[in-house]
Chains A and B, each alone.
Chain A
């Protein structure tokens, strides 16, 4: 049976929402849940939550993890943090998944150490989903994948090619797209204007026959159109891009709230209510579940720092789905195939 390990020290309300999500999942899903955090606090909070104690185990982790902690110092400063203990448990169980809203840098570095990289993968990538205008796959999935969004800040062209393979494997499993369309984020449609690593990755991806469709270079303004099912970039640009998209959504939300100030605007808003609700639903990040960390030997889902219970429940569902569909195995196989093809070519 799948085991979901949940870090309950991060997320909205100091992790209470993560615990509430675990309680909901214990009632709704056929999985084993391991909640990691301050045992005292967890037990007290669980008293007030409907849950199934048969499916829920509590593991104590005492060391608090400051948000601004340098990931490289986390091991020394918080050796028994919920992230460290949770990943240790995930490594021990074969069918385990780790879900956390902790600092992404700490999760990535500790996940690499505790779980290890997949054989053909040299760098891990955090993959964020975002809504696009074009839907894909038999499930009419509106989400496309953007990777990396912060795990590997500096990438070589080889890393980007591996990210493309991993992202395509993930998309083909999760969104059921047979040949995902993969694009490489750049500053224009022509390779000559792009930095050397992008040019090299572009050239390699054009030459490969990796089981996905490479559609070439994609500008940032094309990301939300949905022409690409997977957009590949380095961790630095990916983080900037995804935060820009989030910032735009937050600003739009703030503008909508401001429009409530005047009576006429409120009236207008009432008339547009249906459309606004759809827009809200479209940009509601809590329904996405979280960002899977691809390239490590177990499913690891990183959710936003202010995730509520809905985001956690969706992350748990995503993790269970990844396990059920054998996403990690698919990612490993696709990455290995690309590396092999490249080696043969050289």
Chain B
């Protein structure tokens, strides 16, 4: 299950938009209004996200790559969001937005707030049934992306059967029509293959890492997109020069060499990336160093010193889990949200 994509495989990239690709604030009504009224030119991508996605959608490999955006933003924002992506040089193959107005008019208020029914349905609907398929998903910790993406991955892998799925959907209090649609899609897609290679969760809210441990090694919480690039480089999906592009983008966004080096150290300490991978990357970047600016040479120096500092670390990589307790995880997250709402206990505690 941990193997990365094989040659000649179609790589399907799934992206959430708000807080994953775009820096969006929607914690208050004021934020929501501001986000809604913002022009495409004023919207800002998370540092490194654009460079990472552009590298993944390299024109030479574009035919073998597919990108689907599934966003919780309302359909009324399609024009501005499409324009923003175009400004960033990104043309998604599929771009799904949430029909919030329709949900409100139909009195389906749980669908306005809830994400499980909408996102899981969208993921299943846009599944590409290629024989040789790999998927990499990107989400964030503001909602339930790790939960939804993992559930989707396990449906594809044939690990969540109809009975299990029905009980999960019941716990999530989905409307009947949503359940019917998802169950029908499940019947078609169940056991199509263990195609999801990694699920990257951008830690926008800086949630504790152990909150994602129950999902196993497939879910990789990341503090920034350099970390995602390093993991993808380890899986040979990204090349050294792609890392340089992400690095330079983040550097331009104000990331100091210390912050970048700390991000690498964090991955090594967690066992997500091995010291040998860091050394390999330093060697690979050394080859392009001469043609690049100071950012790259400083980063290489930091990479080498990080590798030297952590030479003693023999950390076991996180385990790949074959069984995930989705119901337990759902109730745990719900309990945390309610504790926050009624008792004011911070979500991060």
Contact = CB atoms under 8 A, between A and B. Distances in A.
Contacts of B209: 46-48
A15 to B, nearest CB: 17
A57 B223 contact: no
A57 B264 CA distance: 10
Contact of B270 (A32, A43, A56): A43
Nearest to A26: B206
Contact of B269 (A32, A48, A49, A58): A58
Interface string A2-17: 0000000000000000
Contacts of A27: 206
B258 A1 contact: yes
Interface in A1-56: 1, 27, 32, 39, 43, 46-56
Given A1-B256, A47-B213, A58 B224 contact: no
B258 A52 contact: no
B348 interface: yes
Interface in B263-309: 263, 265-266, 269-270, 309
Contacts of B261: 57
A52 B265 contact: no
Nearest to B212: A47
Contact of A53 (B263, B309, B348): B263
B155 to A, nearest CB: 28
A49 B309 contact: no
Contact of B206 (A48, A51, A58, A59): A51
B208 A57 contact: no
A39 B269 contact: yes
Contacts of A135: none
Contacts of B42: none
Contact of B208 (A1, A43, A50): A50
A134 interface: no
Contacts of B313: 39
* Interface size range of chain B in the complex: 20 to 34
Interface in B227-252: none
Given A39-B313, A47-B213, A57-B265, A32 B258 contact: yes
Contacts of A48: 208-210
Nearest to B213: A47
Interface centre among A50, A52, A55 (most CB of B within 10 A): A50
Interface in B302-343: 309-310, 312-313, 315
B167 interface: no
Contacts of A57: 258, 261-262, 265
A60 interface: yes
A137 B258 CA distance: 37
A32 B256 CA distance: 10
Nearest to A1: B256
B144 interface: no
Contacts of A47: 208-210, 213, 270
A60 B309 contact: yes
Contacts of A49: 208
B207 interface: yes
B259 interface: yes
Interface-central residue, B255, B259, B262, by most chain A CB under 10 Å: B262
- Of B207, B209, B270, chain A has the most CB atoms within 10 Å of the CB of B209
Interface in A53-94: 53-60
Contact of B262 (A1, A43, A50, A55): A55
B313 to A, nearest CB: 7
A46 B265 CA distance: 13
Given A1-B256, A58-B269, A53 B208 contact: no
A39 B258 CA distance: 18
Nearest to B269: A43
Given A57-B265, A60-B309, A50 B224 contact: no
A53 B312 contact: no
Contacts of A53: 223, 262-263, 265-266
A335 to B, nearest CB: 32
Tell which of A43, A46, A49 has the most Cβ of chain B within 10 Å: A43
Contacts of B258: 1, 32, 57
A242 to B, nearest CB: 34
A52 B207 contact: no
Contacts of A50: 206-208, 348-349
A56 B209 CA distance: 14
Given A39-B269, A50-B208, A55-B262, 12 more contacts: A1-B256, A32-B258, A32-B259, A39-B313, A43-B270, A48-B209, A50-B206, A51-B208, A54-B223, A55-B259, A57-B258, A57-B261
**9 tightest A-B CB contacts, nearest first:** A53-B266, A50-B348, A54-B259, A47-B210, A43-B269, A47-B209, A48-B210, A53-B223, A57-B262
16 contacts: A1-B256, A39-B312, A46-B209, A47-B209, A49-B208, A50-B206, A50-B348, A51-B206, A51-B208, A52-B206, A52-B223, A53-B263, A53-B265, A53-B266, A57-B261, A57-B262
